[in-house]
Amino acid sequence: MPFSPVILWTDLLVYLLVVVGIAFGFYIRRHTYLLVSWRRVAHSASGMAALTVLLCFLFIGLLDTVHFRPALEQSLHGVEDKVYSAEVLSLLDVLLGPLRLHVEKTYSAPLSAHLYAKETLETSDGEQIRDFARLIYGGAHLSDPDTELAPDIFWRAMSGLGGGLLVWGGLMMGFGMMQARRCQTAFWPMQAAIWRGRTEIPWHAIWTTLALILLTVGAVFALASHYHVLGTDRVGQDVLYQSLKSIRTGLVIGTLTTLIMLPFALLLGIAAGYFRGWIDDAIQYIYTTLSSIPSVLLIAAAVLMMQVYIETHAELFDTVAARADLRLLFLCIILGITSWTGLCRLLRGEALKLREMEYIQAAHAFGVSHWRIISRHILPNVMHIVLIATVMDFSGLVLAEAVLSYVGVGVDPSMISFGTMINASRLELAREPMVWWTLFAAFIFMFALVLSANLFSDAVQNAFNPRISTRVGHSDGSNGQPAPDSQAENTLSATQGAVRT
């Protein structure tokens, strides 16, 4: 085998998440009323556009999750058993091979052919001059960058854009034909329906987003082989490569931490609000105590302990990546344990309010068990808060990671993350002339990730709130239950609501 697969701890959890996600998808398909709600998500133009972007990020993150160790060339001894490299690579690393390996000496600006700092160069006739040295890879094919750089970039970008457009057009045609066959219409009327926004799912929004993504990817792809599109960092590593690698770290921190935090926040928060009395007192004491300890201290202590453990048990880890990964997992756990208090407090308040609602009183009157009341009545009615809070936390967590990296207790220095990038740019911004592209790259990627996550969760929340979805709710009632008068009644109740306010 030319490689040996490696499954790190976080990989395992990510796979688990994917499996759970797929299982949930099948579960939804089996339950019509859930399907109806999720179909409603598919009706939101902004939600679907956000989902398209989000899927791209997820795809990159997943590519970066498939780890393996490549086999080394066995020429020295000619022995049969293969030796695998100590370096753990991911599929993404392989795909981005040139980006990963084209390492310059130090900083270079985006799309530049020269280094960013002057250094002493020796010309061919032995004379020493101070000038911006040419890059080893960026623009190396140009003989005279001063005149050739701009046209070269322009033509490459154009051809990249053209390629992207071509791919998009191809996809569009293929999909259009499929869709037309499914709806049993001709190709062109189908296209017209899509672009006038008359389809049930806002395909025009999806295709527009996809077009933007494909054009960008095309242009970047065409440029990236000969330039550093987002420049290089202090040790000359490509910033675009770093940004793409950071996506997985961000996603892992965002999702795993949330997963660890949710059970605490949900169980304790709802239990405190619902049972009140001494249970409430106990839980309140726990979270006030926990939140009054500066969380950075707590995290620092925990991570340092972990670090000591890793260093004293070096034999447990066969690769650097395994060590870095365990540290990342531990960081997620400790972040999760310290960050549930805010959501817990919110949920406690909401549960306090909900437990007095008459439908819960009615459930008591039926002798419904506490667990059932919590899971059937309270939990669905606080889900909107959970959804909003977790998405808000997502960006907060990515930033928390940056802060912790600054203190020195964040992810392993060998692991690329938005946090380490932002941390590095702290010094770069103070430098004269300023190096802005690291921060810029981290900003753009985080912005796109968090914004699309926010928009998508908005769409989900709207679709699952029965009161908001009144208007679109019935047109797609797949069981065909809605009575003919339901539409009229809905408008009536909406009217009455409006009049009352």
Partner 1 sequence: MKPLLAIDNLRTILRTGAQPVRAVDGLTLEIQRGETFALLGESGCGKSMTALSIMRLLPDGGDIVQGSIRLNGDELLTLPEAAMRAVRGGRIGMIFQEPMLSLNPVMTVGEQIEEVLARHFTIGHAAAQARILELLAQVGIPDPARRKTEYPFQFSGGMKQRVMIAMALAGQPELLIADEPTTALDVTIQAQVLDLMRDLQRQMDMAILLITHDLGVVAEMAHRIAVMYAGEAIETASREHFFKHPAHPYSQKLFAALPTRHKRNQGLSVISGNVPPLSEIFVGCRFADRCDRAWAKCRQVAPPWTAVAPGHRVRCHLYATGEAQQPAINAFPQHSAAEVGQPLQPAEATPLLKVDDLRVHFPIHKGLFKRVAGQVKAVDGLTLDIAYGKTLALVGESGCGKTTVGKAILQLIPATAGSICLDGVELSGLHRRQLLKKRAQFQIIFQDPYSSLNPRMRIAEIIEEGMQALNHNLMETSKAGKNRTGQDIDALLQQVGLPVEAKWRYPHEFSGGQRQRIAIARALAVNPQLLICDEPTSALDVSVQAQILNLLKTLQQDRGLAYLFITHNISVVDYLADEMAVMYLGRIIERGYVTEVLDDPKHPYTQALLSAVPAIESKDSRAVIRLEGELPSPANAPAGCHFHPRCPHVMPICREVYPGVSQFGSTHMTHCHLYNSAF
- Using the minimum distance from each CB to partner 1, give the nearer residue, 25 or 380: 380
When computed from its CA atoms, the radius of gyration of the chain, rounded to whole angstroms, is 27
Q: What is the DSSP string of 278-327?
A: HHHHHHHHHHHHHHHS-HHHHHHHHHHHHHHHHHHTGGG-SSHHHHHHHH
Q: Judged by CB under 8 A, which of 21, 263, 380, 413 binds partner 1?
A: 380
What's the CA angle centered on 166, arms 164 and 167, to 5 degrees?
Answer: 65
Contacts of residue 372, defined as CB under 8 A and 6 or more positions apart, other chains included, come to 363
Is residue 499 involved in binding partner 1 (CB under 8 A)? yes
What is the C-alpha to C-alpha distance for residues 260 and 143, in angstroms, rounded to an integer? Answer: 55
Neighbours of 277 (CB within 10 A): 8
Looking up tokens 């623009």, which residue turns up?
A: 139
CA 5 to chain centroid, in Å, comes to 24
Site string for partner 1, 329-368 (x = CB under 8 A): ----------------------------xxx-xxxxxxxx
Is residue 486 involved in binding partner 1 (CB under 8 A)? yes
- Using the minimum distance from each CB to partner 1, give the nearer residue, 105 or 384: 384
Binders of partner 1 in range 219-278 (CB under 8 A): none
Is residue 371 involved in binding partner 1 (CB under 8 A)? no
Would you say 316 and 325 are in contact if contact means Cβ atoms under 8 Å apart? no
- Using the minimum distance from each CB to partner 1, give the nearer residue, 159 or 381: 381
Is residue 501 involved in binding partner 1 (CB under 8 A)? yes
Q: Give the nearest distance from C-beta 461 to partner 1 in angstroms.
A: 12
Q: Give the nearest distance from C-beta 324 to partner 1 in angstroms.
A: 43
Site string for partner 1, 11-50 (x = CB under 8 A): ----------------------x-----------------
Segment interacting with partner 1, rule: CB under 8 A, options 13-21, 338-346, 424-432, 492-500: 492-500
Binders of partner 1 in range 434-473 (CB under 8 A): 466-467, 470-471, 473
Q: Sign of the CA dihedral 195, 197, 200, 201?
A: positive
Q: Give the nearest distance from C-beta 345 to partner 1 in angstroms.
A: 21
Would you say 51 and 456 are in contact if contact means Cβ atoms under 8 Å apart? yes
- Interface with partner 1: number of residues (CB under 8 A): 42
Sheet holding 67-70, edge to edge: 3-6, 67-70, 89-90
- Using the minimum distance from each CB to partner 1, give the nearer residue, 414 or 493: 493
Q: Judged by CB under 8 A, which of 185, 208, 381, 454 binds partner 1?
A: 381
Q: Which of 270, 245, 186, 246 is nearest to 399 (CA)?
A: 246
Q: What is the DSSP letter of 377?
A: I
3-state SS assignment for residue 126 = coil
Segment interacting with partner 1, rule: CB under 8 A, options 272-280, 402-410, 453-461, 490-498: 490-498
Is residue 414 involved in binding partner 1 (CB under 8 A)? no
- Using the minimum distance from each CB to partner 1, give the nearer residue, 170 or 477: 477
Segment interacting with partner 1, rule: CB under 8 A, options 158-166, 175-183, 243-251, 489-497: 489-497
Q: Cis peptide before 151, with omega less than 30 degrees from 0?
A: no
- Using the minimum distance from each CB to partner 1, give the nearer residue, 97 or 497: 497
Segment interacting with partner 1, rule: CB under 8 A, options 85-93, 113-121, 144-152, 488-496: 488-496
CA 474 to chain centroid, in Å, comes to 33
Neighbours of 61 (CB within 10 A): 21
Binding site for partner 1 (CB under 8 A): 33, 357-359, 361-369, 372, 376-377, 380-381, 466-467, 470-471, 473, 477, 479, 481-483, 486, 488-496, 498-501
